[in-house]
Amino acid sequence: MDGLKREDLKEEKLLEIEDRIENCKKCDLWKTRKNPVAGDGSANAKIMFIGEAPGFNEDEQGKPFVGKAGKIFDELLDSVNLKREDVYITNVLKCRPPQNRNPKESEIEACMPYLNRQIEAIKPKIICCLGTFAMSCIMKKFNIEKTQSISKIHGKVFHYRGLFDSIKIIPLYHPAVAVYDADMLNTLKKDFEVLAK
C-alpha cells in the first residue's frame, strides 16, 4: 500500500469514529452536551495529545481546547514549532460533564472505546497525556505501572512496546493549570521541549 492510501484509510477510520460519537448515547452526558467533541487535527499525526473532557467553550464549538486552556496549548505547540494540523488532539471523554465536574468511572468506561479506536487508527509514535485524568487512563491502558504523581513524572518519557509497535508516552501538566500561573507555564514549556526532538 502506498503512503497516500494509508493516509486516506486513517482519515476514513477517524471519520467513522467521529460519526459514532456524534450519535452516541452510551452514558448520560449526551443529555446535557450541546456538541460532542471527537477531536481535531491530522489523521496522520505522529503526536497525539489527550486531555480530560470538553469544557464550556469546547461544548459550544464542538472542538477540543478552544478556551483559555486551549490558548495556552496553542502557545505551547508554537514554542516547539508545531501546528494543530501537525498533531491530533482529543479528550478521554467526548462530551462535557455538567459544570465541568470530574468524569465518573462509568463515563470513562463507556467512552474509552472511542479513544482506543482513535489511537488504533492514528497509530501515533508519541502520546502526551494532559493532566492526571488522561495520565491515569493511558497508563492503565498500556499497562504501565504508575507509582508516582504527575508532579514527579511530568515530562518523563515512558516506553510501551507492543508486538508490532512501540509508543512513547509522556505525562504533562494540564494546560489549564498554567492559565494564571507563570511558573507552571514555564514548566510546561520546558517539558514540551522534549517534543522538538
Choices 75-83, 93-101, 125-133, 184-192; region in contact with ligand SF4 by CB under 6 A: 93-101
Phi-psi region of 143 (alpha: psi -120 to 50; beta: other; left: phi over 0): left
* Residue 77's binding partner out of ligand SF4, ligand URA, none, with CB under 5 to 8 Å set by partner kind: none
Give φ, ψ of 3 to 5 degrees: -55, -45
* Residue 65's binding partner out of ligand URA, ligand SF4, none, with CB under 5 to 8 Å set by partner kind: ligand URA
Distances (CA, A) of 130 to 13, 23, 26, 32, 106: 24, 26, 24, 24, 21
Nearer to ligand SF4, 42 or 91 (CB): 91
Least distance from ligand SF4 to the Cβ atom of residue 53, Å: 8
Residue 41 lies near ligand URA (rule: CB under 6 A): no
Residue 94 lies near ligand SF4 (rule: CB under 6 A): yes
Least distance from ligand URA to the Cβ atom of residue 177, Å: 11
Residue 38 lies near ligand URA (rule: CB under 6 A): no
Which residues inside 172-191 make contact with ligand URA, applying CB under 6 A? 176
Which residues inside 34-53 make contact with ligand SF4, applying CB under 6 A? 36
Cβ pair 93, 131 in contact under 8 A: no
Question: Using H for helix, E for strand and C for coil, what is the string for 119-146?
Answer: HHHHCCCEEEEECHHHHHHHHHHCCCCC
Helix runs in the chain, H state only: 3-22, 29-32, 56-61, 68-79, 105-122, 132-141, 150-153, 182-196
Least distance from ligand SF4 to the Cβ atom of residue 36, Å: 5
Cβ pair 10, 76 in contact under 8 A: no
The set of residues, in sequence order, having a beta carbon less than 8 Å from that of 148 and lying 6+ positions away, is none
Instruction: Give the interface with ligand URA as residue ranges (CB under 6 A).
Output: 51-55, 58, 64-65, 69, 91, 176
Instruction: Give the interface with ligand SF4 as residue ranges (CB under 6 A).
Output: 21, 24-27, 29-30, 36, 93-95, 107, 110-111
